[in-house]
Copies of this chain bind each other. A is one copy, B any other.
Amino acid sequence: MSEIKSAAIIGGGVIGGGWIARLIENGINVNVFDPASGAKRKVNEVLENSRAAYSKLTESTRATEGVVQFVDSVESAVTDAELIVESVPERLDIKQSVYQEIEKHASREAIIASSTSGIMPSDLQSGMQFPQRFLVAHPFNPVYLLPLVELVAGKQTAPETIEKAKSLYTSLGMRPLHVKKEIEAFIADRLLEAIWRESLWLVKDGIATTEDVDDAVRYGFGLRYAQMGVFDTYRVAGGEAGMRHFMAQFGPCLTWPWTKLMDVPEFNDDLVNLIADQSDNQSGHMTIRQMEKARDDNLIAILKALKENHWGAGKTLEEHEQRQMRSGTVRTQ
């Protein structure tokens, strides 16, 4: 059973839409404000995907779906909301002005959570009237399927806000990860930036195509990462001698020039065209909609497979299903 009844989403799009999907799937009513033209259409496309996904993901009882309402002002969206999710573009000034508007109309008890993937919460909350109820809750695309949400407090965030958020996101079937020290890009996106930069170099230098890079991931270490992370993977590889042995053996490899780390590739049109053309060549035979469906079907299959093993993201799903079965309000499938 979810811990709140109503939420507001400021900013639709892929991330906002994903949040809406998670919330209504758990019986929470959602008011959405996004002034952009086409926002409603985009959100509805995400919801179409998410409804198809959830009906395959969970065969047990599910909460009665919450109601989505598109409203025409921040005020209408937030007035009765217990959780207010901000998913507007990644600019400090835009986000800060949205918080100002939110605080004029929101309940003082409401949690305000930014979906930013990199801006420091202390900066975001610096101009707020009640910054103690603000935090970063950074999800991962597709938000309706991936359980991870990074929770990051700013200097003025109250510890109770983090505790409340942990419990709330768990009730949505997510796996909250409390990032204990504030840092730009938090944890996962720092790793992703490192991979992204190295991938761009490989393509730019003509070592690999975008397809080569993708295949090097999904036929190899990507399979490992769906179930164990960086350190546990190497712990196992180190054998009985464990992590110290692994570090001693492979640590010295951590030197130039095994990665091209000294530099960021210049982000010009040539690079954009190179990547975009290769990507078209690799996957242009599928529409984005077809790719979304394939991705979702694969994620569902992986999550269900891991659930059978009571492991990792599959265990998170299993526990969520158990909570839903214990709860009162369910829909018949």
Contacts and interface: CB of A to CB of B under 8 A. Distances in A.
A213 B235 contact: no
B179 A230 contact: no
Interface stretch (A78-86, A252-260, A325-333): A252-260
Given A183-B207, A301-B305, A244 B218 contact: no
Contacts of A248: 272
A306 B302 contact: yes
Interface stretch (A97-105, A107-115, A155-163, A288-296): A288-296
A288 B253 contact: no
Interface string A231-268: 11101111110111001100111111111111011010
A196 B234 CA distance: 10
B229 A222 contact: yes
Contact of A146 (B146, B148, B219): B219
A283 B39 CA distance: 45
A174 to B, nearest CB: 8
Contacts of A227: 218, 222, 294-295, 298-299, 302
A318 interface: no
Contacts of A306: 298, 301-302
A12 to B, nearest CB: 12
A321 B210 CA distance: 28
Interface stretch (A19-27, A63-71, A124-132, A274-282): A274-282
Interface stretch (A2-10, A28-36, A308-316): A308-316
B214 A187 contact: no
A191 B218 contact: no
A146 B298 CA distance: 17
Interface string A89-103: 010000000000000
Interface size class of A (residues with CB under 8 A): 35 or more
A304 interface: yes
B264 A179 contact: no
A232 to B, nearest CB: 5
- The DSSP consensus for interface residues of chain A is helix
A217 B194 contact: no
A116 to B, nearest CB: 11
A223 interface: yes
Contact of A267 (B190, B197, B251, B316): B251
Nearest to A252: B267
A254 B197 contact: yes
Q: Top 5 A-B pairs ranked by shortest CB distance?
A: A214-B229, A222-B225, A148-B220, A301-B305, A217-B229
7 contacts: A183-B205, A187-B213, A190-B202, A213-B230, A231-B275, A243-B280, A302-B302
Given A148-B220, A244-B272, A248-B272, 10 more contacts: A146-B224, A187-B213, A190-B258, A192-B221, A193-B259, A194-B261, A195-B195, A197-B261, A214-B228, A298-B305
